Amino acid sequence: LAERLQNTMKKITGKGKVSEQDVKEMTREVRLALLEADVNFKVVKDLIKRIKERAIGQEVMESLTPGQQVIKVVKDELTELMGGEQSRIAVSDRPPTVIMMVGLQGAGKTTTTGKLANHLRKNHNRSPLLVACDVYRPAAIKQLETLGTQLNMPVFSMGTEANPVDIAKQAIEKAKEEHHDYVIIDTAGRLHVDTDLMDELEQIKTTVKPDEIFLVVDAMTGQDAVNVAESFNEQLDLSGVVLTKLDGDTRGGAALSIKAVTNKPIKFAGMGEKLDQLEAFHPERMASRILGMGDVLTLIEKAQTNVNEKQAKELEEKMRTASFTFDDFLEQMGQVKNMGPLDDLLAMIPGANKMKGLKNAQIDEKQLVHVEAIIKSMTKKERQDPSVMNASRKKRIAKGSGTTVSQVNRLLKQFDEMKKMMKQMTNMQKGKKGKGMKF
């Protein structure tokens, strides 16, 4: 989405201070991006109001990394809007548990019926019976039967002449006889919401009293999906939503509005035509996707949890007074390592895989191991005050760490340069926050 939003986000990420003007600029971009991503207007308005309040509040302004905090606020609010992860499916006290699939034609009901059945068997060890209640198109029954064959699961159908309500009723009787613990009813759809369809679905609902009614909506239909969800929910009181075709390049802004408008959770996401391409819906990932930022937010969070703010402040103090020692160096390295392999971290940064320097990063990681070994072979005194270093000490350290004297020398030189640089930096940019080191 909006490259502009990404640029704004990037600009704000590294900021040591965020002004009200920055926040205004950023929320304007967020607002445009959300509208562009098909998020409902009213939803956007409420959301922006909350983001502004929080972003200009203490939580952000007094934090060590306000730029990152602002972005986190945006993401938090988006995630919140979509609710927590809710991929649970009801289990009836008196089996079979009945799931009814509803939605417009082409939304993906039949496919999702197969996917859910597969999910229930694979992940919950259940034995579902699939039921063909779309009697208006012979091809629809055939389609479900084909899925049944692929899955090696039974499909209950009574042809195109029978009444969908009767089919559903008899299917449940059959499921009881044959000890199926789940019944998934695939119903008919129309191109648009109409009263005939709704009446039929309501009759099925009253007759079989399903434990779950899942609305299947096509994420690619954008704002329309929201209207559809609203109508179906009014008529049938849904229990959840399955958002399909998220494997396309749709931004999925509809996801945000659906939850906000119906207050029903999005439980699953369809990620392709294949029967195993159904996933639990992750509000957090969706928020990142809507913001178009890859997993950059996860990266920020990782950094935040691992670099404890108090430690960072102490470090800054040490940098300012140039009393930074090898022990501090070791600790910093530990923090970087806690964040996971450098390669993984880089992979989370959008565009990083296109960067030329990535190959070097892999080499660096090996060097880190050596660096750590060298420092660990130093005595306490040597770590605190490298000026005591002489030829015999260096030899001992090289031996102890399985490296060479020239590697030890190189590290000592780098450390010395780093200290000088820190001093310059802190003198030059008084008041600017320390940002950790690069290796």
Name the site residues for ligand GDP (rule: CB under 6 A): 103, 105-111, 189, 216, 244-245, 247, 270-273
CA quadruple 394, 397, 402, 403: dihedral, nearest 10:
-30
Question: Which residues are CB-contacts of 108 (< 8 A; sequence separation ≥ 6)?
Answer: 216, 218, 242, 244, 245, 270
Q: How far is the CB of 284 from ligand GDP (least distance, A)?
A: 20
Q: Name the residue with tokens 């880190």.
A: 368
Q: How far is the CB of 232 from ligand GDP (least distance, A)?
A: 13
Closer to ligand GDP by Cβ: residue 67 or 108 = 108
Determine if residue 112 is labeled as part of a ligand binding site. no
Closer to ligand GDP by Cβ: residue 23 or 102 = 102
- In the list ligand GDP, Mg ion, none, the entry touching 111 (Cβ below 5 to 8 angstroms by class) is ligand GDP
Q: How far is the CB of 202 from Mg ion (least distance, A)?
A: 19
Q: How far apart are CA 241 and CA 267, in angstroms?
A: 6
Determine if residue 345 is labeled as part of a ligand binding site. no
Q: How far is the CB of 103 from ligand GDP (least distance, A)?
A: 5
Q: Name the residue with tokens 């494997």.
A: 247
In the bound complex, which residue of the shown chain has the CB atom lying closest to ligand GDP? Answer: 270
Determine if residue 248 is labeled as part of a ligand binding site. no
Q: How far is the CB of 344 from ligand GDP (least distance, A)?
A: 28
Q: How far apart are CA 400 and CA 439, in angstroms?
A: 23
Closer to Mg ion by Cβ: residue 185 or 238 = 185
Q: How far apart are CA 15 and CA 286, in angstroms?
A: 25
Q: Please tell me whether residue 249 adopts helix, strand or coil conformation.
A: coil
Closer to Mg ion by Cβ: residue 74 or 107 = 107
Closer to ligand GDP by Cβ: residue 244 or 377 = 244
Q: How far is the CB of 191 from ligand GDP (least distance, A)?
A: 10
Determine if residue 188 is labeled as part of a ligand binding site. yes
- In the list Mg ion, ligand GDP, none, the entry touching 107 (Cβ below 5 to 8 angstroms by class) is ligand GDP
Distances (CA, A) of 73 to 286, 297, 301: 15, 11, 12
Determine if residue 189 is labeled as part of a ligand binding site. yes
DSSP state for residue 433 in the 8-state scheme: P
- In the list ligand GDP, Mg ion, none, the entry touching 103 (Cβ below 5 to 8 angstroms by class) is ligand GDP
Determine if residue 90 is labeled as part of a ligand binding site. no
Determine if residue 186 is labeled as part of a ligand binding site. yes
Distances (CA, A) of 239 to 260, 380, 398: 14, 63, 66
- In the list Mg ion, ligand GDP, none, the entry touching 285 (Cβ below 5 to 8 angstroms by class) is none
Question: Which residues are CB-contacts of 49 (< 8 A; sequence separation ≥ 6)?
Answer: none
240-244 and 212-218 strand pairing: parallel
Determine if residue 72 is labeled as part of a ligand binding site. no
Question: Phi-psi region for residue 293, left (φ > 0), alpha (ψ -120 to 50) or beta?
Answer: alpha
Q: How far is the CB of 313 from Mg ion (least distance, A)?
A: 60
Q: How far apart are CA 165 and CA 200, in angstroms?
A: 8
Which one, of 225, 224, 237, lies nearest residue 264 by Cα? 237
- In the list ligand GDP, Mg ion, none, the entry touching 247 (Cβ below 5 to 8 angstroms by class) is ligand GDP
Closer to Mg ion by Cβ: residue 23 or 140 = 140
Determine if residue 251 is labeled as part of a ligand binding site. no
Both tokens of 341, joined, read: 């392999």
Rounded to a whole number of angstroms, the distance between the first and last alpha carbons of the chain is: 33
Closer to Mg ion by Cβ: residue 110 or 401 = 110
Numbered residues of the known binding site for GTP: 103-110, 186-190, 244-247
Numbered residues of the known binding site: 103-110, 186-190, 244-247
